[in-house]
Structures are given as C-alpha cells and as structure tokens.
Amino acid sequence: MAIFKGAAVALITPMNADGSLNYDSMGKLIDYQIENGTDAFVICGTTGEPSTMTHEEHIETIRFAVSYINKRVPVIAGASSNCTATEVYLSEESKKAGADALLLVSPYYNKATQNGLYEHFGAAARAVDLPIILYNIPGRTGVNIQPATVKRLVDDFDNIVGMKDATGNIEQTMSTMALCDGKLDLYSGNDDQITPILAAGGLGVISVLSHVAPRDTHNIVEYFLNGRVQESIGLQHKYHALIKALFSEVNPIPVKKALNLMGMNAGPLRLPLTEMEPRNAAVLEAEMKKLGII
C-alpha cells in the first residue's frame, strides 16, 4: 500500500526573529494544511532547512510534528545526510519519534558512485523497517540515481518503496518505472511537472506550492487520478507562473516570503540563506495577488 496518494507538503520550519524554531507557528501551519486537503507531510526535507539545524533540533522538529499531527495524515521524516552513519542515526531517531516513513536524498557534495548510492540507501533500509522514499534531485546534490540503481534497491530492500523525482528528465523517469515494474511509488518533486509525472504512473507530489495553494495542489492530483484530466491540467497551468516565482531563488527563500505575505509567520531563514531579493519578491507578490491568495 502506498504511503500516500495526493499532495504532501514539504513543510517549512517556521523560525522566530532570533532564528530559534517556532513550534507554535508550525502547529498553525499544520492545521491550515490539513484543513485544506493536504494528504501528508514531509518534515525536515530540504524546504525545512535541516542542513542548518543541530541533530537535536532536527529530531525534536520531527517529534513535534508527529505528536501534533497525531495520525491525521502520514508524516514522512527527512533523514538525509551525506554521511551514511548520520543518515542511519536520523533514520533510527525518526522511527523512535513515530514517523510513518522516511525521505532520503542522495549524498551531496562528496557525491557517490552508483554502488555507493546503493550502499548508502541500503544502510538505512537495513537499520529501520520504515518505508523509504528515495529523493533524486541531481541539480542540488550533483549526483543522479540511475534507473538500474533504483531497480537494484527496490529488488533488494522491501522497504524501499518510492521515489521523489526532481530530475526533470521524463525519459529517465519512464525508464525507471519500466525497470521497477510496479514496485515503485512515484511522486513528483517539481511542482511544475505534477501532471507529467502522474501520466508516467505517479501517485502524487511532494510540494512547495502546497504551502500557498493546498486545496488546488491536492486537486491537481485527485482530478487526474479520478479521470478528470483536463481539469487537472487546467490547474497545473493556472499555477505555472506562481510556481516559477516560488523557485526564482533557491528554495525555501521564496516560499517563506510567500507565507509571511499571507500572515502565516514563517519567520526568517538561517544563513547562508538570505531574504528574497526585492525584484523577485515583487513578482511573487504580484502573482499571489493575481490568484487571490493575498
């Protein structure tokens, strides 16, 4: 059974003015998302800024989210690291915290060979029995999980069950799905490519757009899976310019700006991320106004 179908929000981590974590605002964001149809949460994924958290903050954020969400929808814990031992540690702690599944990105900066990727992900799969979603985003990590490697992983580890695909390479996506022959649950990692990934056999999206348009992001998936394909494509097109604005600077800079414009108290970013450039912020605000979000 799939971990989820639909739209999972890759949740930001709200922060206070001094850079400390703001769990009060996180709780309000969680309630807003659930009330507007979000199907699952990714906590401490890239959008949640875990690379600037201490391990203790990372684990406590997952623990808080699991407790607050309280089984209303699945919680997928980001447990990624470019150090395999740290990845295993965060995976084990995420299970103890009560997460329903893990999201694991390929190692960044030090990279890895395809065999290294197999061993890296395999180490987490051996350590915990939670379902695992691989995250392939070579634009940020500098390494691509090849289709043959994905097949090897899903064949050898029963708990490696899904992939968040942010490659932007639909031919590779189709090759991966064909090789895995029904063993892999596919999710879009790019908000501007939800419907193409659904057409390739996907079950949903792990989304940034969901922060500002949760109901319609959910509906893009629901409509498509229920045969209302043209309505789904229409929504995909409706939000194209906003999605472009949400990724005009490195994620999560624009989405935190968007939430602050909505009065959601996302707070600041931790360095090395900085506030959005005024020119790009003006475009984002204009697109949000055009769609009636603010």
Read off the pLDDT of each residue in 202-213 and give the average, rounded to a whole number. 98
Residue with tokens 């939430």: 259
User: Which residues are known catalytic residues?
Assistant: 135, 164
pLDDT level of residue 1 (50, 70, 90 thresholds): confident
**Statement: the pTM of the whole predicted model exceeds 0.95:** yes
Query: What residues have CB less than 8 Å from 142, skipping those under 6 apart?
Result: 108, 109, 111
- Judge residue 158's burial from the number of C-beta atoms within 10 Å of its C-beta, 0-12 exposed, 13-18 middle, 19 or more buried: exposed
Kindly report, residue by residue over 78-113, the tens digit of the pLDDT.
999 999 999 999 999 999 999 999 999 999 999 999
Q: List residues bridging with 42 in a β-sheet.
A: 10, 76
The 3-state DSSP class for residue 174 equals helix
Does a cis peptide bond (omega within 30 degrees of 0) precede residue 252?
yes
Query: Half-sphere exposure of residue 54, counting CA atoms within 13 Å on the CB side?
Result: 6
In the numeric block, the tokens 């908000």 are attached to 191
> Is 135 a residue whose pLDDT tops 90?
yes
Q: 137-195 pLDDT, tens per residue?
A: 999 999 999 999 999 999 999 999 999 999 999 999 999 999 999 999 999 999 999 99
Amino acid symbol at 66: V
In this predicted structure, the answer to whether residue 41 has a pLDDT above a threshold of 90 is: yes
CA torsion sign for 75, 81, 83, 86 is negative
- The overall average pLDDT reported for the chain is 98
Average pLDDT over residues 248-255: 98
Q: Which domains does the chain have, with CATH numbers?
A: 6-229 (3.20.20.70)
